[in-house]
Structure 1
Amino acid sequence: MIFILFVITGVLLVVYLKQKYFTLHGYVPGLAPQFLFGNLLQSGFFNGNSPPMILSTFQKRFGDVFQFWFGPSRFIVINNITDVEHVLTHRNIYDQGDIFIEKFSINYSQSLISTKGLSQIASLWPFLCKIISLGIQFKRHSSIVSPLFRRSKVISHFDLIIGCTDKLLTKWRKTEAKTIHVDIVSQCHNLVLAIFGFIAFDYDLETLDDGDNELTLALRTIINSIMTILALPRILAKAYVTLSYRQRQARNTIERYIYRMIEHEQATAQGKHTSLIASLVHSLRMNEHLEATEDIDEDKRGLSRNEVVDEMVAFLIAGFESTSSTLVWFIHLVSKHAQVQQKIKAELIAQDCLYHLSSDRLDSLVYLNCVINEVLRFIPPATGTIRTLTRDDCLPATNVQLVRGDSVLIPFHSLAHDPRYWSVDPNLFYPERFLGEDQNHHPYALIPFGGGHRQCIGQDLARFELKVIVGRLMQKVTFDDAGPEVNAGGHSMGLAILPKHIGVSIEFD
């Protein structure tokens, strides 16, 4: 009897999960999802097809608006640029994607990415208390973190970025001539992580001294698991994170580094909130003081120790992956287009920057800026951005009706490669497009860091880092294509899109 009840319960559970998570909803076109896998098997995801390529294929088949199931998560994918602009400019209707709350909170529930704004209050009255709590949490985190990533703060890090880049150049100079570098991905990761360690945490993470140090390996473990976590139902994702020895070990390693950085900051703090960790530690002290005096006014609270740790983990991962992926793609793409490197070097000479690069002269490097924009357009660092509806809405261009709770996905790669929005063939790597026909492209055709009120908080830092690093590299070296076997490109998916195969030789000028 017990066995029969167990079987019946199992069947009912499968039927419930199939109906709730794996059934095509409404009138929006799409492929009927398969149990557990959604559209991942049908789209070839497990055979190496990357999400940008998959979404482009679905757009050709189903049109500008379609359903796509990433495992149990259902998205309405939007490709019409008028609809995209509508979504990103109506924050009172489209808030932070619920998937960020549900999945990213498994690893770092107290970070900025796992919080919502206050725009849900009006339409979700039954959950008012929870929403207010999330809104206040977002406000507290944002007020502490956001000012540190403004351009006025970012440009002060010029010499630091140059110094770290020079350290990598010194390592390259010690290698034999015509060495084929097939570890460009890890080298770029280590460079960007070293820079971010100094900028955000005023701490030497030593990644340029030891490319395989335990922090780097731990971060890669966490990053490599993100796609798995996204593809699983939350309960299974949480079990995976909790039960996996590698996940627990990686998290413990990262937290050990973070506590070391917090202790270092507490021991050396000078009262100046010039770095992320300085502001976080100041907020932590303020919170501890308020708790000691039993003043629990939410508006006055600082961040708790758990919030500080989760925020640092989230920023470490973001700083580790997204900027470095664009740098990797820059090296790969310019190794295939020698004329682009020649034009950058010619501009450095023309602007008297070949030997004397400075933060003041960066703005004069117009072509270099075009190259960086083209790399970001050609291969955006992320698949897209997600918003969840707080109330029913109708998309203005396609007239598709959406309901509260729907999650919409805006695919960066599809917009950046849609010939409707670009005058020059968008499948060409052609930086000059931003000097001519595509100089005045639609602003929402190129949104590599997202748009609206939840766009990437660190985009000014990322762009500045890229421009300084690339400018310095082009002062010193030329990247040569090592041939189709080792430098074939392709897509390898993690948190960011990386080339599956990259191999270049580095020639000092």
Structure 2
Amino acid sequence: MELIIVATLFVIVITLIYIYLKRAYSPSPGDLPGVKPHIFFGNLINSGIWTGESAFHQVLLDYQHHFGDKFQYWLGSHRCLVFCRIEHAQTIFADRYTFDNSPLNNSNFDLFCPNSLLLLTGAKWKRHMRILLPMLKLAKIIGHLETIVQCADRFIDQNLHSGQIHRDLLSCCESLTMNVIGFVAFGCDFDIHANSQIKKAVHDFESYVRWLSPLPWIFRWLGKIYLKYNWKYQRASRLFHGLAQKLVEEEQNKQSEMENEPPKNLIAALVSSLNEEANDEQVSSGLTSAEIFDEILTMILFGYEGMPPALLWFIFFASKNPQVQQKMKEELREHHLLMTNNLKCVPPLTANNLSSLTYCECVIKEVLRLAPVIEYTIRIATCDTIVDDVKIHRGQNVFIPLHNINTDARYWHHADPQQFVPERFLAEDKNHHPLAMIPFGGGHRACVGEKLAWLQLKTIIVRMMQRGLN
């Protein structure tokens, strides 16, 4: 008898759960258009994201083509409202109190770096920004220009040779950008190469981040167990902790020898802010050691996966458009910056001559327009509101597909916005809308390392052209 009762209750519970999930995923009369989602997986399967058949930015472009500028996309178990016009982005970015950072921006990243700036909101976010932002402003990082040039030269000498067939440029670009981060942010030569321990650890760490990030939150407890007993991940984590501890201790020794010295790089600012009693009630109370570690790890991961794709896209576009390479070299020749056989007879790259390279700047803008560092951004509504006659309830996620806006013909007029045409920034698209191209995100949650990324990308690309590489 008891067995029958238990079995009956089990069936009832399963039925109720099924009915609840069915209702939760069923469209309502006021919903935006979209593709019917699967339970738990949303549109990840039927859009081809989960199977790898489609890139996410292409899916959002296809949805916009079918459903218009406003539609819904289910990211796993989360229904997201997608807005594709500049006016939408302007409204959402401008209202920082109604739209804040969504957990979906870096889903499950708190399993790895719970104290990272990428995840924080409110007073804690402000406390971290107070430490990080001053060191990542252009006025600070421009002093590292010579170091970036040296890293670029090492990258070129080791990897780019005339007539060479490049089969693993992504790995080489990852090593380059991580080395730049090592020097600029931490004053340390990571000496990253393909088989280095740090490179392997970062690769392993980043692969787990990518694997766990798109999973619906119902699997979070599985993720915690998986990471806890995964020896490969634990080995990478131990190496990172050791590296972070070493960086902190070395900086503490420097600061003990030179008292009252203003911070010159990110690690100096982080160590100067060390305060195990730090709290959100006092914005200027500093960071704890756990918070410092997570910020160090985030910066290294950014160096690993942030800029290498953009650098690879430049190499791709330049190889497909030799006339663009020629124009870049002609501009360098006009400014007496094009090298031939003797590197020493050319003036060094400076902030002034970099800023004078107008066409090179246009090429970099066009690369980032078609291959933005951040393809989309997500905000969460902190209260009920309305955007373009769409009711948004508190707790709902709002998507802004930046790639859609970057390639929208309504905002780009010189040439087909799907084509690589750097000259557009010298013609009628020169004064494009500020939000028509925001490759690093927008609003108060834009990428904090934008200035460093931009300087790094421009310097490396100019250096490659300066040395006459094809």
TM-score by length of 2: 0.90
Equivalence for 1:496 = none
Equivalence for 2:123 = 136
Q: Give the residue type in structure 2 aligned to 1:364.
A: S
Q: Which runs of 5+ in 1 are unaligned?
A: 117-134, 480-509
Secondary structure class of the residue paired with 2:80: strand
What is the CA-CA distance between 1:458 and the residue it aligns to? 0.9
Secondary structure class of the residue paired with 1:438: coil
Equivalence for 1:103 = 108
Task: Give 1:404's match in structure 2, choosing from 389, 394, 400.
Answer: 394
Equivalence for 1:492 = none
Equivalence for 2:331 = 347
Q: Aligned partners of 2:142 and 2:321: how far apart in 1?
A: 29
Q: Aligned partners of 2:220 and 2:27: how far apart in 1?
A: 23
Task: Give 2:359's match in structure 1, choosing from 352, 363, 367.
Answer: 367
What is the CA-CA distance between 1:111 and the residue it aligns to? 1.4
Secondary structure class of the residue paired with 2:273: helix
Asked if 2 retains the 8 angstrom alpha-carbon contact of 1:24 and 1:30, the reply is no
Q: Give the residue type in structure 1 aligned to 2:299.
A: F
Asked if 2 retains the 8 angstrom alpha-carbon contact of 1:273 and 1:279, the reply is yes
Task: Give 1:163's match in structure 2, choosing from 150, 165, 175.
Answer: 150
Q: Aligned partners of 1:444 and 1:300: how far apart in 2?
A: 32
Asked if 1 retains the 8 angstrom alpha-carbon contact of 2:43 and 2:74, the reply is yes
2:28 is aligned with 1:41: no
What is the CA-CA distance between 1:73 and the residue it aligns to? 2.6
Equivalence for 2:269 = 279
Q: Aligned partners of 2:78 and 2:377: how far apart in 1?
A: 14
Q: Where do residues 47-196 of structure 1 align in structure 2 (5 Å cutoff)? A: 47-100=52-105, 103-116=108-121, 135-172=122-159, 177-196=162-181
Task: Give 2:290's match in structure 1, choosing from 296, 306, 313.
Answer: 306
2:248 is aligned with 1:262: yes
Give CA-to-partner distance per residue, 1:204-244, whole Å, 9 cap, x none: 1110xx32222222222333333433322224135225414
Give CA-to-partner distance per residue, 1:36-73, whole Å, 9 cap, x none: 22101111111431000010001111110111112223
Secondary structure class of the residue paired with 2:319: helix
Equivalence for 1:484 = none
Equivalence for 1:460 = 451
Q: Relative to 1, partners in 2 of residues 1:297 and 1:377: Cα closer, same or farther, differing over 3 Å?
A: closer
Task: Give 2:405's match in structure 1, choosing from 395, 415, 418.
Answer: 415
Secondary structure class of the residue paired with 2:176: helix
What is the CA-CA distance between 1:105 and the residue it aligns to? 1.8
Equivalence for 1:379 = 371
Q: Aligned partners of 2:153 and 2:194: how far apart in 1?
A: 16
Asked if 2 retains the 8 angstrom alpha-carbon contact of 1:88 and 1:452, the reply is yes
Q: Relative to 1, partners in 2 of residues 1:238 and 1:178: Cα closer, same or farther, differing over 3 Å?
A: farther
Q: Aligned partners of 1:428 and 1:238: how far apart in 2?
A: 44
2:11 is aligned with 1:28: no
Asked if 1 retains the 8 angstrom alpha-carbon contact of 2:116 and 2:295, the reply is yes
RMSD over aligned CA atoms reads: 2.1
Equivalence for 2:341 = none
Secondary structure class of the residue paired with 2:269: helix
Secondary structure class of the residue paired with 1:113: coil
Q: Relative to 1, partners in 2 of residues 1:74 and 1:477: Cα closer, same or farther, differing over 3 Å?
A: farther
Give CA-to-partner distance per residue, 1:190-209, whole Å, 9 cap, x none: 000000011111111110xx
Equivalence for 2:316 = 332
Q: Relative to 1, partners in 2 of residues 1:445 and 1:241: Cα closer, same or farther, differing over 3 Å?
A: farther
Asked if 2 retains the 8 angstrom alpha-carbon contact of 1:70 and 1:230, the reply is no
Q: Give the residue type in structure 1 aligned to 2:178.
A: L
What is the CA-CA distance between 1:457 and the residue it aligns to? 0.8
Give CA-to-partner distance per residue, 1:413-447, whole Å, 9 cap, x none: 11111111110210110000000021111211101
Equivalence for 1:239 = 222
Q: Aligned partners of 1:299 and 1:78: how far apart in 2?
A: 34
Give CA-to-partner distance per residue, 1:436-493, whole Å, 9 cap, x none: 02111121110111111111111111111111111111111423xxxxxxxxxxxxxx
Q: Give the residue type in structure 2 aligned to 1:454.
A: R
Q: Relative to 1, partners in 2 of residues 1:412 and 1:297: Cα closer, same or farther, differing over 3 Å?
A: closer
Q: Aligned partners of 2:421 and 2:280: how far apart in 1?
A: 56
Q: Aligned partners of 2:52 and 2:269: how far apart in 1?
A: 44
Q: Relative to 1, partners in 2 of residues 1:298 and 1:242: Cα closer, same or farther, differing over 3 Å?
A: farther
Q: Aligned partners of 2:330 and 2:56: how far apart in 1?
A: 37
Secondary structure class of the residue paired with 1:361: helix
Larger mean Cα displacement after TM superposition, 406-415 or 236-245: 236-245
What is the CA-CA distance between 1:297 and the residue it aligns to? 5.9
Secondary structure class of the residue paired with 2:316: helix
Asked if 2 retains the 8 angstrom alpha-carbon contact of 1:76 and 1:409, the reply is yes
Q: Relative to 1, partners in 2 of residues 1:217 and 1:72: Cα closer, same or farther, differing over 3 Å?
A: farther
Give CA-to-partner distance per residue, 1:116-151, whole Å, 9 cap, x none: 1xxxxxxxxxxxxxxxxxx22111101000111111
Q: Give the residue type in structure 2 aligned to 1:401.
A: K
Q: Percent identity?
A: 35
Asked if 2 retains the 8 angstrom alpha-carbon contact of 1:218 and 1:250, the reply is yes
What is the CA-CA distance between 1:19 and the residue it aligns to? 4.6
Give CA-to-partner distance per residue, 1:272-293, whole Å, 9 cap, x none: 3111111111111xx14x58xx
Give CA-to-partner distance per residue, 1:233-264, whole Å, 9 cap, x none: 22413522541413333323322221221122
Asked if 1 retains the 8 angstrom alpha-carbon contact of 2:72 and 2:80, the reply is yes
Equivalence for 2:461 = 470
What is the CA-CA distance between 1:353 and the residue it aligns to? 1.9
Give CA-to-partner distance per residue, 1:145-168, whole Å, 9 cap, x none: 011111101110111001111111
Equivalence for 1:205 = 190
Secondary structure class of the residue paired with 1:278: helix
Larger mean Cα displacement after TM superposition, 216-225 or 361-370: 216-225
